[in-house]
Structure 1
Amino acid sequence: MNRKNVGVFVLFLLIFGSLALAKESGGARLVKQPTLSETQMAFAYAGDIWVCDRDGSHARRLTTHEAVEANPHFSPDGTQIAFTASYDNNLDVYVIDVEGGQPRRLTCHPAPDVVCGWSPDGKNVLFSSDREILNSRSRQLYHVSKTGGAPVKVMEAIAFEGSWNKDGQTLAYRPFPAAHARSSGWHLHRGGTTPPIWIINPAKNKVEKIPHGRSNDHTPMWFNDNVYFISDQDDIASNLYEYNRKTKSSRQLTFEKDWNVNSAAIRGGVIVYEVAGGLKQLEIDSGKISPIEIPIKLDSPQLRPQWKSTADQIQSIGLSKTGKRALLTARGDVYTVPLKDGSTRNITATPGIRERDALWSHNGERIAYLTENREKAPFLKHDLVLEDQKGMKPAQTVTLGIPGYLNLLSWSPNDKLILFQDNHLNLYVIELDTGEVKLIDTNQRRSRTQFSFSSDSRWLAYTVNGENYFSQIKLYHFETDTHHMLTDGMSHASHPVFAKKDYLYFTASVNTGPRQVDLDMSSQERALRSGIYAVVLAKDGKSPLLPKSGDEEVGKKEKTKAEKKAEDGADEKGEKKKDESEIVQIDFEGLLDRVIALPIPERNYDSLKVAHDGALFYIERSQPGVSNELPGFDWFAKSKLRRFDFKKKESQVAMDKVGFYTLSSDGKKLLLMTSGGRLVYADAGEKLKPKPLKLTGVKALVNPREEWKQIFNEVWWMEYQYFYDPAMHGSDWKAVYDKYEPLVEHVVCREDLNTLMVEMIGELEVGHNRVGGGDVHREKSASFGLLGADFTIDRGHYQIARIYTGEKWNPFLKAPLAVPGMDAQEGDYILAINGQALTSKDNIFSYLEGTQGTQVTLTLNSEPRLEGSREIIVEPVHSERKLRHWYWVEKNRRYVDQKTNGKVAYVYLPNTAGSGFRYFNRMFFAQIHKKAVIIDERRNGGGQAANYITDVLSREYLSGWKDRDGLVSATPAGAIYGPKVMLIDQDAGSGGDFLPYAFKRLGLGQLVGKRTWGGLIGISTNPGLIDGGFLVVPFFRFFTPDNEWRVENEGVAPDIDIDLEPDQVNQGRDSQLDKAIEVIMADLKNYKPIKLQKAPAMPTELGK
């Protein structure tokens, strides 16, 4: 498969032929986000902002930075364009003159600032940001002067985007994001995350809601006091609509059926909108629609083939027979890397083709890997390639004929077999001499197969999962095609490894039951205690731990030369002969009775491998729940590579901070991945002396055009292979490919490829379907520091309005201005930062750029003057999100406590994974003395099925207990037996859908708020993309005990439907929380407590 010898001419074509120009005929494609002036149109294309005449002619690029620029908006007079750019890895607001020049930065904050438009007078730019959001997936709206300075919040109510009417008083806005957004593809979403368009006068706090069903409405625009917007309410595609404020009714303006209208702009009775990768123009009065073609000749830096390091995209690692070279697959190529002598070799060098899972044969002569068979594209298949170790001889390609997504696992020790598996739970072997593929077994549950060949290649030990979810070890005999179950199902047995001909080592756990199903939250913080065991394979075999007497052997004679040769496996002529004593004999009668436990503690072990001297290497990992580590902690740092010495009968740490490792075929060399993802190698001895593996030569000539086509095809194919329904919900998936594939050749930057793929996978109309990342342009972060405070502008200066303290019992939260002894109070003015004078004409956050991890001097005073001021030294933090979040949580808890006279507990759940588990334990059990509880799962990010929470909430009172002194106790003690209410909203999904579903099904109480997201087809088992991008394919689905598909694309509806009313939010009130309090207090009126606070009278008779 090596194609490096194709010659200089082809390399010339790769480099210079791919300085491609976007095709001029028919106009540019993948043009988006138009904005209009009276005479011109601006739009986003290829990551830049462009300007042309209204008819599409005379297009010119206005911005040229490699970072993405988007969301252009013309000023009312048409002389300037505001846009959002990701310079310095930060989304901020910029303005540029329509004639060009240097963009001017208007915002300077680590939170994303996204341009929405202008104020009608042209003095301010309207943008959205989540910089001060307390608990929402949405944002808030701000104004910033076109000359810069302090941004001003438009209102407290959440708003994802908005547009001012020409009166400058009335705002049409979308309160929250849609499900089909960013990396998530979900056309025609009909769960709870279906945003409406609302109209508000912030000054008068008066709200008008445009009639709205369960559709996705966005991009509000004004003309003649009517609101125009995009909606998919016709259940076919997103189109343009007009809302008449006088008649209070909407009418459809466009009738696109095959493609969604994704963005639009309005000016003077004309709407220009984005559809099918191009632009169209609608004349509102006549209804006339005409396409706009924009001829563009483009030179795009991202299209240029470049040599790139691929060392940060390693997919698999291995070693040659004696460990002289490492074997890596990275970014679709196969490399051999010398540990000491020689140079790195890319033995495939195939741009636009993905090779995977490289394995070195045991004799060191050949390398096997998978490649893509494109004969029936896009229905790809994997072929097996056998290559000589230098990649210089013609490779042998073997057609496997298996339609699924394959993974190579191992060569057999005699190099005649290769073990592999597909994504449909099947385990196969191919006989290389004949090319025959044999199905060995099919697992009952999805799990990572652990396996080991016997030294004579006659046996395979491998793991399967049974109905009880436990892993079991099976043995397969190749010669007789028979299967034998080694373990009995009463333990979780895994990680088998043969030790030459005598033993099979493996791990086994008998405490794993509560943590076995990691989909369930009840598996959280459950320890996994495994022992390591050896099974003696032959009935006359001996334990590897058999005591040795230390006596001299009596009557032992010196061996003759012929006997020594025979012992070495050679005949009298010195030729090697078959050694019958090396055949692995497994006697199944009484096999389980010959299982011996190694004398080590039961801990969390995996990755067993046997070295050349018989020592057993394995990894000991940390136990969940033992500690709560600092943010950003590298879990490899707690993993240890251990070595068990059978002569000493003890285990020692061979190396710390090892996450993964592999062993050479001769058992003498180790290649290890350590903390931080570093690769090192070492001899397989008692104490490792690791040396770094040099990866400077791991690089490839990347041709973006070819790679992008490969990525697009593989995304389509992995959706086809991994989606839980083989019939793709009735979708003609090949027709979907044919619809989107022609646009791939118009992609001129990696970011646009992501946008195109999101649209494609969105055709499945399901949740948890995401694609993104990859080799996009990335900038070095500006490292902003933040002070953990809100500011207002008073008398021309910044005044501290609120200092966030981090509340209590949050050891990882740093509140810069709330540190004890810090002389800063709410109401103080910040007059200078590091000696630089600060006024409202300045942006305070620009003074904090680059201050993360440093000390900053603030000049403060209780009055806005330098006289009498003081200086303090603070250490800014990189994020305020947790500070603001915990302020919101504790404010709600105190509010509920106050409003209910201490009768009702308040518990917030940010997700149904680790954080949700910890929040629940922290907040619920501290309040079990209260009579009732409000569970708030708004904005719940999901994670697991929260059966643990519903189990606790469902606890029934079983008994009381009387001590001689003090209060009585209860069993279960950790319970609140009174009324329960759950708050839900459109931002709660996945596990945040399941929790209110379970709460409702169990009859625990009423649901208050808004319909949840509606996504219970779960994620994800497919691999990532060739350039490091991600694809999340939903591969399993929830159904009810009534055997019905529910919740997906419908959400969980509340019993009491109530919006988070914007006018009340602007007044500092939470309408949903207030309703929950009202409901639970009404329930308490009729509730008779069942937990007894007093024991019965003491018995007066003996024996009672």
Structure 2
Amino acid sequence: MRRLFSAAAFLPDPSSMQLSTLSKAVTLALSLTAGIAAGPTLAQQAVTTTTAATGAKAPAQAAAMLLRDPAVSARNLAFVYGGDLWIANRDGSQPRRLTSHAAAEFSPRFSPDGQWIAYSASYDGNTDVYVIPAGGGQPRRLTWHPAADQVTGWSPDGKRVLFASSREVLNNRSNQLFEVPADGGYEQKVMEAVAYEGVWSPDGTRLAYRPYRQAYNGSSGWRQSRGGTTPPIWIIDPKGKTWEQIPHVNATDSNPIWMGDEVVFISDRNDGAANLFAFNTKTKALRQLTKETVWDIRGADGRDGRIVYEAGGQLKEVGLDGSPARVLSIALNEPSNQAREQWKDASKTIENASLSATGKRVVISARGEIFTVPVKDGVVRNLTRTSGVREKDGVWSPDGQQVAYLSDEPGMRHQVVIRDQLGDEAAGKPTRKILLPEVGYFSLLDWSPDGARLVLQDNHLNLFQLPLTGPQSGKLTRIDTSERRAGFDTSFSPDGRFLAYTVAGKNFFSQIRVIDFQTGQQHTLTDGQSHAGQPVFSTKGDVLFFAASINSGPAQVGLDMSTQERAVRMGLYAAVLRADGKSPLAPKAGDEDGKDAKDKKDDEKKDADKAGKADGAAKDGKDEKDGKDAKADKKDDAKDAKPKVKPVRIDFAGIQDRIVGLPVATARYGALGVADDGALFYLEYRQPGVSIEPNGGEGNKGELYRFDFEEKKAKLVKPQVQNYSLSADGKKILLNLGGGRLEISDAREKIDTKSIDLSGLKTRIDPRAEWKQIFDETWWMEKEYFYDPKLHGLDWNGIYQRYAPLVAGVQRREDLNDLLVEMIGELQVGHNRIGGGDVHQEPRVPVGLLGADFSFENGKYRIKRIFKGDRWDPYLKAPLNAPGVGVKEGEYLLAVNGQPVDGTRNLYQQLENTVGKQVQLTVSANANGQGARQVTVEPTGNEGRLRQWAWIDHNRQEVDRLSGGKIAYVYMPDTAGSGFQHFNRMFFAQVDKTGLIVDDRRNGGGQAANYVTELLNRAYLGSWKDRDGLIYDTPAGAIYGPKAMLIDQDAGSGGDFMPYAFKRTGLGPLIGKRTWGGLIGISANPGLIDGGYLVVPFFRFFTPEGEWRIENEGVAPDIDVDLDPVAVNQGRDVQLEAAVANVQERLKTWKPIQRTTAPAMPTQVGK
């Protein structure tokens, strides 16, 4: 195969499959509750408005769609439209824009007197709290902390803004409530208990709040979630010792609004659309206020007995008195800056790239267009120019004169397009289009060297050929079907007669097969006893190179945590294709070849002349000229690209006995390719678990090697290469260095790379056309990739008809994400997410953090707590705990870089642009500055891991204290790499203890934690007596005593499976709250045209009994314990206390199974 460089693989290797509830980077706008959808008839609605200035009737305008985040005062209504804040009269009349910044603005809330609006915005690349006069004016910033701060309300006296933030939580996946003075200053934490949103009672003594996140949030579309992450509304006196729960069923309650004696909230408890309910705090009566049946209510606010809410993209108003809801028709005729046509840099969204026949140009698929880019001279050509159509997978014809690619122009199905490489400049050259089957999402892999066929694969594990000549021309034919989702590695023989490819078998190993297109016969080259891949024919077609492993079995199924840090050792092999062929490693005879020195010099001169002509053509860039020069050069190119190729012959009988190994170390190899001189290029990757980079990753780039068959050894060519491809003639090599950097060089032992200029890779985008394409492709990929072809019986066509009209209401890319989250949520499953894309992002201003908690006392910031970090993690820095700094808890921070720190300015405002830089702090034991001193520190950009480790280590010490040193404590933040490391670090260090508590709370998932349960279920097999010291057991690392696992609603995915497995294997009870409930995972589909991501669940868990379980159910605890907020405010963890008490009680009756002493020594020889 002439390999394509690919920025993202079409199909994942099984080793990459993971279960996770942690999304990729999600846009700030998506992380907040927001209205998303509107009814299909909104586009036809029209209203008549009256202008404020003249009172004259304006022309009828369509009612605006996709209005979000309503907020109300006594006189006004505020809402978000197109990412901006708007204000109108309470009835929706006279709407006017308050803000017009390109950054996202959301969560508006009026002050009690209606004079101010507090809201959240990401003006500096971070979500912070702002206030703006309700009559318009300049926004005033109130917070600067780098954590996201989301406005939820005001204090009843209007002096403080209430917001939710994760800035001081001691573990992830939670928020707490804070207040900041409306005039600016120090942010005060309301309470230690976690809370995602809240609102004060009218007298300011109690809070109605949602204690934890909901399953349906941000980028996650999941209507009617019925797992553990179905939050209630709690009411608490933060200063007292009482709290109550509004009557709750297994449903999601959110968005509390305190109105008199009643708390109004949104709930989906009736198994239909989410509606408004009201709870009377005195009578404890609960009643339903609205009767929405189609669209969920997504946001609401109320005052003076009236509530405005958002449903279906409209704003509606309903009364507490039970009066019916009415639509507030709001006409907005404002242009959208994001919707105007504009030029975009396509180099940021490169999907794949490959070299032309002689390496003079690169075909690049990016932003849904097909480009050809000169490696040096010439112009960038956009061959497609079809905004709103996705073209992808561009490949060159073997002579370099045409480009083939896939297009979704027919509408939610693919067609192959073959066109001249000059694009529109090739006058009179017909473009060929071949429609592919309606079922399947296709990927174009390669074009045969003889030009006779294309090779494609689909997402349903099929490999196809598409003949371009002969009687079968244009008819797609299946070559083979894989039994596992592993993708296909392919390589054509030089004459195009044979195709070598990989196919995954039942044992998870891939084998190499070869199809003969002349006879149609298929042959299996390898025996299935090794995991083989990356086949590539030699330039002469006499050898097939490939990589294979015989130790990869334990690492083959990456969904299992037991594959973590499993080194896969591969060898490089050569299969001699002809029975009379010789090994490429065969000894040389050392005889004369019959040529004298003069003949050799003549041959060398001819080779040099040929090389010079080729180089000259590349320098002049003549192949890129128009008209006659271009045609002439195309003939020259064709001549150069079509040397006479000898027919390839393969003798399949006995071929497995003609496989020889190359003399290279067994390592992790990939991306094999053969240059024109016969040398073998390949990438060697770092083995997992060998080392960790300072950024916390292992690094995914490889080192490029070249094996020379004359010298019979490999040499390093270039480090830090992500991927590469070779030109069809094998003379040029294209290197992908990552980050959109491409370099080219001659494919020789010593490469001299030159950067390829991608500055011209730009395309004009019609956003509305592109948004429609993204909508359609999202719907299409859900249909093609969802694990159940029938989508659980959902009328997916009907869903399209309901949501498609709303695309016309999209004003910015973020709106489209909101709409798509709503649409995919109709499937009512987890791990179904969408986000990112060409959303607006302001440059982030990094804000430094000192790794400390502060209080505000005596008009100064006082250091309440210093986080000390982890002495065994060299990359976890604690700024105030570094040796030599000497800052103590209780001291005052008086100045930053000489600027006073007091209540007039926010502390974090003074720490802007200080991350990783030396900062001078002035500290003192007294607020008056007596004895002040200066210290120099380097602030960090994120305290999350500092706080988490402090929480983990505190829990370990608390368990040790409460149990008298008998019980071990192990925390697992996820079931992927971090969880694997945490488990190994904490478990084996405590195997001298008798009992065990494994903490799964807030576990972010990753893999199926079979490693943990298998290790904890180890059977005691015996012990060993050394002459000196203690005896030791086999297995050596084990705790055999009573065990328990802590779980909660924030643990999910792999964090669901681990407690399921813990309970099923009888390890011990589960204590806490029901888990998230998401064991349908996670994604095999490609991303979206503008770089956005879509996660379509394509596999699902079922039990040994053949039951679909855990998904949308969660794992229930054996002992149900709420994380009591009053206890949390007092510094207690009642769930942890319950687990310790449970294990302690069982230890009283537990009898050790392993020996603690050796038997008496033998007294007879031979015994």
Fold-level similarity (TM above 0.5): yes
What whole-Å deviation, never above 9, does each CA across 1:103-145 have from its counterpart, x for those lacking one?
A: 0011111000100000111111100100001114120001111
Residue of 557, 566, 580 corresponding to 1:517: 557
Q: 1:1081 aligns with which of 1130, 1144, 1149?
A: 1144
| 1:80-105 Cα distance to aligned partner (Å, 9 max, x none) | 00000011111000000011111001
Three-state SS of the structure 2 residue aligned to 1:303 is coil
Question: Does the aligned pair in 2 maintain the 1:136–1:987 contact within 8 Å?
Answer: no
Aligned to 1:16: none
**2:1056 is the alignment partner of 1:1024:** no
Amino acid at match of 1:1083: R
Counterpart in 1 of 2:346? 310
Q: Secondary structure at the match of 2:414?
A: strand
Residue 423 (structure 2) pairs with residue 391 (structure 1): yes
Alpha-carbon shift at residue 246 of structure 1 (Å): 2.8
Q: Deviations over 1:296-316 (max 9, x none)?
A: 111111011111111110011
Separation in 1, partners of 2:521, 2:964: 71
Partner residue in 2 for 1:85:
121
1:821-832 matched pairs, under 5 angstroms: 821-832=884-895
Q: SS of the residue aligned with 1:87?
A: coil
From 478, 493, 501, the equivalent of 1:462 is: 501
What letter corresponds to residue 503 of structure 1 in structure 2?
V
**Counterpart residue number, 1:774:** 837
Q: CA deviation at 1:551?
A: 2.5
**What is the aligned counterpart of 1:746 among 809, 813, 819?**
809
Contact kept, 8 Å, 2:692 with 2:698, in 1: the verdict is: no
Structure 1 residues 397-455: Cα deviation after superposition (integer angstroms, max 9, x where no partner): 11122521000000011011000011000100011122121110010000021011111
Structure 1 residue 547 corresponds to structure 2 residue 587: yes
Tell me which amino acid in the other structure corresponds to 2:527. D
The one of 694, 703, 709 equivalent to 2:757 is 694
Q: Give 1:554 shift.
A: 7.8
SS in structure 1 of the partner of residue 981 of structure 2 = helix
Q: Relative to structure 2, which stretch is displaced further, 987-996 or 285-294?
A: 285-294
Tell me, yes or no, if structure 1 residue 835 matches structure 2 residue 875. Answer: no
- CA shift, 1:741, in A, is 0.8
Q: Tell me, yes or no, if the aligned pair for 1:636 and 1:674 is still in contact at 8 Å.
A: no
Q: In terms of mean alpha carbon deviation, does 956-965 or 476-485 score higher?
A: 476-485
The alpha carbon displacement at 1:949 in A equals: 0.6
Q: Which amino acid aligns with 2:495?
A: D
Is the counterpart of residue 141 in structure 1 residue 177 in structure 2? yes
CA distance in 2, matches of 1:720, 1:312: 28
Q: Given the superposition, is the C-alpha separation of residues 542 and 402 from structure 1 closer, same or farther in structure 2, using an over 3 Å criterion? A: farther
Q: Per-residue CA shift, 1:548-575, capped at 9, x if unaligned?
A: 121236899999xxxxxxxx9xxxxxx9
Question: Cα offset for 1:205?
Answer: 2.9
Question: Is residue 351 of structure 2 the alignment partner of residue 326 of structure 1?
Answer: no
Q: Which amino acid is the alignment partner of residue 562 of structure 2?
A: S
Q: Which residue of 2 aligns with 1:45?
A: 81
2:545 matched to 1:505? Answer: yes
Distance 1:358 1:534 in 2: 30
Does the alignment pair 1:629 with 2:665? Answer: no
- Note the alpha carbon deviations across 1:1078-1099, whole angstroms, 9 max, x for none: 1111111110011111011111
Instruction: Name the aligned partner's letter for residue 74 of structure 1.
Output: F
1:15 corresponds to = none
Q: Report the counterpart of residue 450 of structure 1 in structure 2.
A: 489
Partner residue of 2:665?
601
Q: Which residue of 915, 921, 926 corresponds with 2:984?
A: 921
Tell me the residue number matched to 1:966.
Answer: 1029
In the alignment, the residues of structure 1 paired with residue 953 and residue 435 of structure 2 have an alpha-carbon distance, to the nearest angstrom, of: 62
Q: How does 1:427-826 map to 2 (within 5 A)?
A: 427-433=463-469, 434-499=473-538, 500-552=540-592, 582-631=646-695, 635-636=699-700, 639-826=702-889
Q: Hey, what does 1:295 align to over in structure 2? A: 331
Which residue in the other structure is 1:353 paired with?
389
Q: Deviations over 1:210-266 (max 9, x none)?
A: 111110000001112111100000001100001122332321111111110001111
Contact 2:350–2:740, Cα closer than 8 Å, also in 1: no
Q: Deviations over 1:738-766 (max 9, x none)?
A: 11111100000111110000000000000
DSSP 3-state at the match of 2:87: strand
Q: What is the DSSP-based 3-state SS (H/G/I as helix, E as strand, rest coil) of the residue aligned with 2:347?
A: coil
Q: Is the 8 A contact 2:390 2:409 kept in 1?
A: no
Matches within 5 A, 1:881-1030: 881-1030=944-1093
* Cα distance in 2 for residues equivalent to 1:629 and 1:723: 35
Cα distance in structure 1, aligned partners of 2:45 and 2:134? 24
Instruction: Kindly provide the amino acid, as one letter, of the partner of residue 382 in structure 1.
Output: H
Distance in 1, matches of 2:1059 and 2:61, equals: 54
Structure 2 gap segments, 5+ residues each: 1-42, 47-59, 600-609, 611-638
Worse-superposed segment, 42-51 or 805-814:
805-814
Q: 1:253 to 1:725 in 2, by over 3 A?
A: same
- 2: CA distance between counterparts of 1:237 and 1:1086? 51
Aligned residue for 1:884, secondary structure, equals: helix
Which residue of 2 is the match for residue 233 of structure 1?
Answer: 269
Q: In 2, distance between residues paired with 1:495 and 1:455?
A: 16
Instruction: Check 1:555–1:311 CA distance in 2 against 1; reply closer, same or farther (3 A cut).
Output: closer
Contact 2:415 2:434 in 1 (8 A): yes
CA distance in 1, matches of 2:519, 2:285: 76
Match in the other structure for 1:369: 405
SS in 2 for 1:214: coil
Are 1:211 and 1:249, in contact at CA under 8 Å, matched by a contact in 2?
A: no
Partner Cα separation in structure 1 for residue 297 and residue 905 of structure 2: 39
Relative to 1, partners in 2 of residues 1:22 and 1:183: Cα closer, same or farther, differing over 3 Å? farther
Are 2:191 and 1:155 equivalent residues in the alignment?
Answer: yes
The CA distance in 2 between the partners of 1:552 and 1:738, in whole Å, is 78
* Aligned equivalent of 1:565: none
Q: For the Cα contact (< 8 Å) 1:653–1:687, is it kept in 2?
A: no
Assess, with a 3 A threshold, how the Cα gap between structure 1 residues 542 and 299 changes in structure 2: closer, same or farther: same
Hey, what does 2:147 align to over in structure 1? 111
* 1:673–1:679 contact (8 Å) kept in structure 2: yes
In the alignment, the residues of structure 2 paired with residue 22 and residue 649 of structure 1 have an alpha-carbon distance, to the nearest angstrom, of 76
Contact 2:693 2:699 in 1 (8 A): no
Over the aligned positions, Cα root-mean-square deviation in angstroms equals 1.9
| Match runs of 1:1004-1083 below 5 Å | 1004-1083=1067-1146
Once the two structures are superposed, residues 24-46 of structure 1 have per-residue CA deviations (whole angstroms, 9 ceiling, x without a partner) of 63421100111111111001111
SS of 2:124's equivalent? helix
Residue equivalent to 2:20: none
Q: Secondary structure at the match of 1:211?
A: coil
What secondary structure does 1:367 align onto? Answer: strand
Partner secondary structure for residue 806 of structure 2: helix
Number of residues of Structure 1 aligned to a counterpart in Structure 2: 1065
Matched letter for residue 78 of structure 2: A
Please, which runs of 5 or more residues in structure 1 have no aligned partner? 1-19, 560-567, 569-574
Shift of 1:22: 12
State the distance in 1 between where 2:697 and 2:1151 align. Answer: 48
Contact 2:1042 2:1150 (C-alpha < 8 Å) held by counterparts: yes
Partner of 2:54: none
After superposition, the C-alpha distances for 1:146-181 in whole angstroms (9 at most, x for unaligned) are 001001111000000001110110110000111111
Q: How far apart are residue 675 of structure 1 and its match?
A: 4.6
- Aligned position for 1:572: none
Identity %: 55
Partner of 1:413: 449
Instruction: Give the Cα–Cα distance (whole angstroms) in 2 for the partners of residues 424 and 811 of structure 1.
Output: 45
| In structure 2, distance between residues paired with 1:92 and 1:1011 | 33
Superposed displacement of residue 677, structure 1:
4.0
- Name the SS of the counterpart of 1:1078 in structure 2: helix
Q: Deviations over 1:892-951 (max 9, x none)?
A: 000000100000000000000000110000000000010010000101000001111111
3-state SS of paired residue (2:408): strand
Deviations, residues 807-846 of structure 1 (Å, cap 9, x unaligned): 3311111111001111210010011111111113431111
1:285 and 1:93 mapped to 2: Cα distance? Answer: 34
Counterpart residue number, 1:71: 107
- The Cα shift of 1:633 comes to 5.5
Q: 1:634 to 1:922 in 2, by over 3 A?
A: closer
Write the letter of the residue equivalent to 1:441: D
